[in-house]
A and B are shown apart, each in its own frame.
Chain A
């Protein structure tokens, strides 16, 4: 059985490899754009796109896929129609309303299981008097190892409406670390999903440093507090970067002060710069273009001193 997760201590101490995770409380703060630029500025990094729900880093780094693997997680119940007696016990027991009465013909009702609603608990499998329910492993997505112009990259695609993104995130990080160890890379840069839930926790546990990308908005301020509480909870050193700071300089100050008093470092500020979208359209990181914000990102990278 493959190991799916690392304990924090083991993960941090196992090697001298540093791991920077870029996170944010809400989506759309510029995490991926910054990560892509860091990938260009770093010396031989390994890249891990852990935003497995909506991975976007590949749109800038144009990876050439070398290896592709299916990601299985949990199980799903599937009723074999020919063996089903139509008793409906599975429907009575299902807590997730996943068993549907799809049609009633002259002889018996036909039950099916809605794969989106099925949580894979297996209760119907146990209680089916005809043993007519299969319980195969569930294909939840795939993950890839690729080459990019700035180094190897591990990325993934979670199946639509699939569960267990945290486990897929752990798989992506584990593979990135394996590559770093085998090929003597000293830095892993991780693009995390937004929020504070399960895939984010899976992205940050045991990392050396977290960079929190936020915006000078009231919602950004609120979400930052939540993210800071999360990094503190897991004991991970954190820095803050306020993106589009000049939209509201006063709030940018306030956010940085909040960060300082929570013990976070201030990595720097990035100006509001429509050129970052132009870079994206050309599949380039901001630091590969003449976008004015490239200077800001360069300073942040130096401040992180990884």
Chain B
């Protein structure tokens, strides 16, 4: 089941709409929220009340810089979190070093692969288009369940 909100054009305030979307979530099943980027009000409105957060980053200077802000944010909200590195191999190892230094778990690394970008461009699910990704994502969801929800693997 998908619940989505769409802000009218020219309307400034996203958080009330985000709260309205969340109020319609069905809470008797697992809920996955796709948050906007950044660290300000719309992101906070999305994260508040959640059980765990996955921070998706890239191993680049921009990625590392924004990741540090995101980590500060989830720590301020006192939410458990882990990292997913997207486009692994494109930049350098500073994101990995930072996570190690801060004892932040890296749950998976999705390789930088033009075929993934092309599949995404066509609107395909990358778990369908790229077989290696299916394995990665299965592993990611199992780690997430074990780490944050003390649940068994599927």
Q: Size of chain A's interface in residues, with CB distance under 8 A?
A: 47
A117 B48 Cβ-Cβ under 8 A: yes
Residues of A close to B62: CB separation below 8 A: 32, 56, 59, 280
**Which chain B residues lie closer than 8 Å to A229 at the CB level?**
9
Residues of A within 8 A of B121 (CB): 215-218, 220, 247-248, 251
Alpha-carbon distance A217/B121, docked complex (angstroms): 4
A158 and B9 form a contact (CB under 8 A):
no
- Quick check: which of A144-152, A159-167, A291-299 contacts chain B, the rest being far away? A159-167
CB–CB B66/A54 < 8 A:
yes
Contact A281-B92, Cβ < 8 Å, known A116-B44, A251-B121: yes
- A contact residues around B54 at 8 Å (CB): none
- Residues of the B chain whose Cβ atoms lie less than 8 Å from the Cβ of A136: none
Of A193, A197, A201, A244, the contact of B117 (CB 8 Å cutoff): A244
Q: Which residue from B36, B69, B77, B114 sits with its C-beta under 8 Å from A247?
A: B114
Instruction: Tell me the complex Cα distance, A32–B45, Å.
Output: 26
Name the B residues within 8 Å of A117 (CB-CB). 48
Known contacts A54-B66, A56-B65, A160-B69; A197 and B7 CB within 8 A of each other: yes
- A218-B121, A247-B117, A283-B61 as given contacts; A161 in contact with B12, CB under 8 Å: no
A217 with B40, Cβ < 8 A, contacts A54-B66, A59-B62, A160-B73 known = no
Residues on the A chain within 8 Å of B76, using CB? 116, 160-161
Q: State whether A193 touches B10 (Cβ < 8 A).
A: no
Q: How far is the CA of A251 from the CA of B122 in the complex (A)?
A: 8
A158 to B122, CA, bound (A): 35
Whether the Cβ atoms of B12 and A248 lie closer than 8 Å is no
Cβ contact within 8 Å between A226 and B13:
no
Chain B residues near A194 (CB, 8 Å)?
37
Interface Cβ pair total, 8 Å cutoff: 112
Please give me the residue from chain B that is nearest to A141 by CB atom: B40
Chain B residues near A54 (CB, 8 Å)? 37-39, 65-66, 69
Question: Given known contacts A248-B118, A251-B121, is B61 in contact with A161 (CB within 8 Å)?
Answer: no
Residue A195 lies at the interface, judged by CB distance under 8 Å to chain B: yes
Total interface residues on B, using CB and 8 Å?
Answer: 38
Query: Does A218 lie within 8 Å of B123, measured CB to CB?
Result: yes
- Which of B38, B58, B60, B91 counts the most A-chain CB atoms under 10 A from its CB? B38
**Complex alpha-carbon distance, A98 and B130, angstroms:** 45
Are A161 and B13 in contact, CB atoms less than 8 angstroms apart? no
Contacts of B112 in A (CB 8 A): 274
Which residues of the other chain, A, contact B65 by a CB distance below 8 angstroms?
Answer: 54, 56, 59
On chain B, the residues within 8 Å of A28 by CB distance are 37, 58
Are A198 and B14 in contact, CB atoms less than 8 angstroms apart?
A: yes
18 extra interface residue pairs, beta carbon distance < 8 Å, beyond A274-B112, A277-B91: A28-B58, A54-B65, A59-B61, A59-B62, A59-B65, A160-B73, A161-B40, A161-B76, A163-B41, A165-B40, A166-B12, A197-B12, A198-B13, A216-B121, A218-B122, A272-B114, A274-B90, A281-B92
Ordered by A's residue number, 6 sampled pairs between the chains whose C-beta atoms are within 8 Å are A54-B65, A163-B41, A196-B9, A218-B123, A233-B10, A274-B112
